[in-house]
């Protein structure tokens, strides 16, 4: 390795996996490094900003911890650069010695059933992006679907499904203390949601939500938690499952309450068709059974759950970017402990961490260990990596007429969000509009 200069590393994606990778690189003394932490958005923190539900204020406060890494002298935040679009993968690689891909899994999975594309049928990724104020969220799509929605069906029983069900069922008062954009608060307050049904295609023992998130549904101000009492008497040796079953059993004798909305969990119910002519009117579900190996079979017994809005929350899907393919089936970049494989062969100087490495599973903290494994591999390889010969990356971006958002620019956005919140007595309001974010980042002189 050229001892004259630090190892230049680009980390692409400033979500938790990217920040943890930058942190692991910065917090070691084995190899001097200079890390550019890139993101296509003008703001850092990925799913901590645009995925963790806004009413989970304590979890969102994780951004306070993540921002310490952005202040590290070895780390430079470079937002508003879309790698593969603004700058090709090959061009990026010419400026640095190693790249760590950490751009996550932002795509949605499809049910593959009739009616899935009717107006009023949305992916959870659309709804989550909207309520978190993601600049690419399709406001019209979500707000039109929500406007007349009394009956909502959420498909899937993971934590994202519970987030969506809970946010839709919350009272305006419960959401006032969040950092949601004002138009989101207004649209949710105006939505006439009365019944939310959450469908699990297998039983309560196979649900992937966690107990804390499940319990929250039982403590909503304006909605009662209900459950269809099937499969609740099962005994489980798995502690997390036993805890979930205990919570659900407490709800088994709950009944709808006048003047309150309801969130009903219904298991052994597989959607087979979404009904409606010009918009969604219901979901046809088939009752299922689950065998000893947790596999489901359909019973051919069907019924229709009325729905004005259907949200499919059946997992995220990793997508490639131009110049970096993913496996179509798994949605991850092929890798060996974080070292990227192209056509089955190790690609020197290319690494991967987070959901695009292992798939969309685990909590935010899972990415810390994951990123460390990748950085360990990178540092072990450092001496033999081909060196980038191009000039400094930010100088090159400016030369191309791009407008990278650097740390001070991001701090200006941060201040602008706090100031926007203060206009309505809130601690912060997320700015959702890309032009407004960039105007706050680069105010006219």
**Interface residue list for ligand NAP (CB under 6 A):** 111, 155-161, 163, 200-202, 206, 208, 210, 213, 313-316, 360-363
Find, among 161, 164, 157, 314, the residue nearest to 241 by Cα: 157
Can you tell me which residue has the tokens 């709808």? 256
Instruction: Give me the numbers of helices (H) and strands (E) for the chain, helices first please.
Output: 17, 18
Report in angstroms how near the CB of residue 399 gets to ligand NAP at its nearest.
39
Nearest residue to ligand NAP by CB is 158
Nearer to ligand NAP, 188 or 314 (CB): 314
Report in angstroms how near the CB of residue 330 gets to ligand NAP at its nearest.
13
Nearer to ligand NAP, 163 or 417 (CB): 163
Lookup: tokens for 44: 């850092």
Length reported for the chain: 445
Separation of alpha carbons 98 and 130, rounded Å: 34
Nearer to ligand NAP, 44 or 204 (CB): 204
Report in angstroms how near the CB of residue 5 gets to ligand NAP at its nearest.
39
Nearer to ligand NAP, 72 or 215 (CB): 215
Decide the pairing of beta strands 121-123 and 261-266: unpaired
Half-sphere exposure of 389 (CA within 13 A, CB side): 1
Residue 35 Cα distances to 26, 78, 87, 234, angstroms: 8, 10, 17, 51
Separation of alpha carbons 262 and 265, rounded Å: 10
Find, among 100, 99, 30, the residue nearest to 370 by Cα: 100
Nearer to ligand NAP, 218 or 421 (CB): 218
Report in angstroms how near the CB of residue 149 gets to ligand NAP at its nearest.
20
Mention every residue, 6+ apart, whose C-beta is less than 8 A from residue 181.
133, 429, 430, 431, 432
Report in angstroms how near the CB of residue 247 gets to ligand NAP at its nearest.
15
Q: Running DSSP on this structure, what letter comes out for residue 383? A: G
Separation of alpha carbons 155 and 20, rounded Å: 32
Report in angstroms how near the CB of residue 307 gets to ligand NAP at its nearest.
15
Report in angstroms how near the CB of residue 161 gets to ligand NAP at its nearest.
6
Report in angstroms how near the CB of residue 428 gets to ligand NAP at its nearest.
20
Nearer to ligand NAP, 159 or 374 (CB): 159
User: Any alpha helices (H) in 148-205, and if so which ranges?
Assistant: 159-169, 172-175, 182-190
Find, among 60, 171, 40, 146, the residue nearest to 101 by Cα: 40
Nearer to ligand NAP, 161 or 321 (CB): 161
Point out which residues pair with 262 in neighbouring strands.
195, 224
Report in angstroms how near the CB of residue 131 gets to ligand NAP at its nearest.
13
Lookup: tokens for 151: 């009956």
Nearer to ligand NAP, 127 or 379 (CB): 127
Nearer to ligand NAP, 307 or 405 (CB): 307
User: Which pairs from 168-174 meet CB under 8 Å and 24+ separation?
Assistant: 168/193, 168/196, 169/193, 169/196, 169/217, 169/220, 169/222, 169/223, 169/261, 169/263, 170/55, 170/220, 170/221, 170/222, 170/223, 171/220, 171/221, 171/222, 173/221, 174/55, 174/220, 174/221, 174/222
Report in angstroms how near the CB of residue 31 gets to ligand NAP at its nearest.
32
Nearer to ligand NAP, 80 or 430 (CB): 430
């Amino acid at each position: 390795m050229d001892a004259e200069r630090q190892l230049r590393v680009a980390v692409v994606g400033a979500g938790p996996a990217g920040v943890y990778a930058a942190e692991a690189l910065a917090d070691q003394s084995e190899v001097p490094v200079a890390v550019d932490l890139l993101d296509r958005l003008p703001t850092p923190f990925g799913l901590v900003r645009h995925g963790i539900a806004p009413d989970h204020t304590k979890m969102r406060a994780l951004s306070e911890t993540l921002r310490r890494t952005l202040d590290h002298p070895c780390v430079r935040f470079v937002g508003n650069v879309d790698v593969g679009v603004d700058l090709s993968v090959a061009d990026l690689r010419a400026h640095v010695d190693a790249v760590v891909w950490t751009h996550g899994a932002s795509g949605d999975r499809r049910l593959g059933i009739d009616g899935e594309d009717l107006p009023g049928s949305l992916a959870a990724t659309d709804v989550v992006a909207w309520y978190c104020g993601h600049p690419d969220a399709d406001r019209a799509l979500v707000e039109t679907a929500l406007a007349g929605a009394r009956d909502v069906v959420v498909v899937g029983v993971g934590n994202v499904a519970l987030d969506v069900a809970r946010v839709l069922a919350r009272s305006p008062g419960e959401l006032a203390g969040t950092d949601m954009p004002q138009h989101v608060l207004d649209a949710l307050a105006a939505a006439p949601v009365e019944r939310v049904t959450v469908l699990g295609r297998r039983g309560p023992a196979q649900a992937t939500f966690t107990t804390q998130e499940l319990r929250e549904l039982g403590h909503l101000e304006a909605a009662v938690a209900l459950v269809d009492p099937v499969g609740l008497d099962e005994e489980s040796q798995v502690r997390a499952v036993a805890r979930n079953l205990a919570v659900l059993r407490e709800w088994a004798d709950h009944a709808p309450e006048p003047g309150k909305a309801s969130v009903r969990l219904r298991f052994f119910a597989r959607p087979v068709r979404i009904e409606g002519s010009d918009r969604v009117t219901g979901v046809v579900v088939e009752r299922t059974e689950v065998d000893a190996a947790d596999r489901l079979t359909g019973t051919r017994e069907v019924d229709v759950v009325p729905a004005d809005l259907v949200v499919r929350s059946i997992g995220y899907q990793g997508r490639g970017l131009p110049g970096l393919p993913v496996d179509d089936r798994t949605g991850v970049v092929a890798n060996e402990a974080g070292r990227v494989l192209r056509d089955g062969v190790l690609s020197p100087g290319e690494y991967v961490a987070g959901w695009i490495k292992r798939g969309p599973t685990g909590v935010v903290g899972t990415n810390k260990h994951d990123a460390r494994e990748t950085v360990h591999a990178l540092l072990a390889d450092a001496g033999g990596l081909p060196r980038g010969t191009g000039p400094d990356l930010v100088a090159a971006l400016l030369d191309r007429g791009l407008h990278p958002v650097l740390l001070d620019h991001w701090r200006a956005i941060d201040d602008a969000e706090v100031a926007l919140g203060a206009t309505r007595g809130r601690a912060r309001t997320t700015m959702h509009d890309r032009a407004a974010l960039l105007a706050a980042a680069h105010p006219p002189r």
